[in-house]
Amino acid sequence: MPPARLDAAARAAWPTPAGMRGYARRVVDREALRQERLVKNEQAARAYNNRRLRFELDDDSVDDDGDDVPFLCECGDETCAEAMEMTPEEFIAVHSAPNRFAVLPRHVLGEVEWVVEDGDKFWVVEKRPSAMSAAE
Ligand SMILES: [Zn+2]
Q: What is the pLDDT of residues 116-132, one digit of tens each?
A: 999 999 999 998 776 66
Tens digit of pLDDT for each residue in 48-83?
999 999 988 887 765 556 788 999 999 888 889 899
Give distance in angstroms: CA of 72 to centre of ligand 1: 8
Q: How far is the CA of 80 from the centre of ligand 1 (A)?
A: 5
- Residue 10 within a domain: no
HSE (CB half, 13 Å, CA atoms) of 27? 3
Residue 81 domain-assigned (yes or no): yes
Which residues span the domain enclosing 43? 30-134
Whether 24 maps to a domain, the answer reads no
Ligand 1 centroid to residue 92 C-alpha, Å: 19
In a domain, 100, yes or no: yes
* Overall domain count for the chain: 1
**Can you tell me the distance from the alpha carbon of 107 to that of 101, in angstroms, rounded to the nearest whole number?**
11
Q: Has residue 5 been placed in a domain?
A: no
- State in Å: Cα 70 to ligand 1 middle: 13
DSSP bridge pairs for 103: 123
Would 3 be classed as within a structural domain? no
7, part of any domain:
no
62 part of a folded domain: yes
